[in-house]
Structure 1
Amino acid sequence: MIGYLNLILRLVIWFLLTANLSVANIIIGVSVALLLPGRLKSPGTLKDWLRAIGEALVAIPQAYFEALQIMLFPHQHEDVTLERVRPGRTPGLIFLDVFIITFTPKTIVLKYHEKGWYEVHWVKRRKAS
């Protein structure tokens, strides 16, 4: 089941990159998705995938809300933090985590450290002194 989710993730990325749903592009996308090597560090569970997809769906309204906040109130303070990667994440789930963090306007992942950390850049409102 998890192999299908990885295949679907690769196809979605392909279609987002090409923005073309012609028959020839679908055939090329399926071929590329099947030919890409898959290295599993640890098998992801369906529960992890469903949680990541749920977080992606929650990130959409959150992104609109943060965009409105940035437009209405100045955000002039920047901060860089390290956030821990959940243990046992497959490369596909790590990609989804990075996508979810970067999708919202106030945060962006600067670097993924192989030791299990995301380096995240935050834009914040400066607190009144």
Structure 2
Amino acid sequence: MIGHLNLILRLAIWFLLTASLSVPNIIIGIAVALLLPGRPKTSESLKDWLRVLGEVLVAIPQAYFEAFEIMFRPHKYEDVIMERVKPQRTPGLIFLDIFLITFTPKTIVLKYHEEGSYEVHRISRRKRT
């Protein structure tokens, strides 16, 4: 069985993909969310989820700021860095971490490594040493 927070995440993704809150779509979304295979129940902390959702809310104005910055001030340099996954992350929280990194215009996750790191491509105005 899946956890409540994973069910909510699956339904949110379903509604974002379908862009419909009709009764049949809600029924289909719940069925899909329940039928998708899940991992064994893990100890997910509500505190971790609330922290990540708070980071999502902070990322929205940051994304607008970065978009305007890219338009008005050229970013000529790019690099790929390895970023560590925070300890004890569940798959749902890892998904939200990747979403946060990719949501801002200056960074994108290229690959998630199972041993606990992300390959992140980023652009910058100055060459990093």
TM-score range, shorter chain: over 0.9
Q: Distance in 2 between matches of 1:65 and 1:4?
A: 34
Aligned to 2:105: 105
Once residues 80 and 42 of structure 2 are traced to their aligned partners in structure 1, the CA distance between those partners, rounded to angstroms, is 29
Over the residues paired in the alignment, what is the CA RMSD in angstroms?
1.4
Shift in CA distance, 98/41, structure 1 to aligned 2, threshold 3 Å: farther
TM-superposed CA distance for 1:18, in Å, is 1.1
Q: Structure 2: which 5+ runs fail to align?
A: none
Question: Could you say what secondary structure the match of 1:111 adopts?
Answer: strand
Q: Structure 1 residue 27 and structure 2 residue 40: aligned?
A: no
- In structure 1, how many angstroms separate the alpha carbons of the residues matched to 2:41 and 2:27? 28
Give the Å deviation of 1:40.
4.0
**How much has 1:4 moved relative to structure 2?**
1.4
What CA deviation, in whole Å up to 9, does each residue of 1:62-82 have, x standing for no partner?
Answer: 001101100110011111000
> Is residue 2:95 matched to residue 1:86?
no
Q: Deviation above 6 Å: which 4+ runs of structure 1?
A: none
Q: Does the 8 Å CA contact 2:3/2:41 hold for their aligned counterparts?
A: no
* 3-state DSSP of counterpart to 1:105: coil
CA distance in 2, matches of 1:40, 1:90: 11
CA distance in 2, matches of 1:36, 1:92: 14
Percentage of identical aligned residues: 75
Q: TM-score, structure 1 length as denominator?
A: 0.93
Give the Å deviation of 1:83: 0.4
Corresponding residue number in structure 1 for 2:10: 10
Q: How many residues are paired up?
A: 126
Q: SS of the counterpart of 1:37?
A: coil
Distance in 2 between residues matched to 1:42 and 1:82, nearest whole Å: 26
- 2:56 equivalent to 1:56: yes
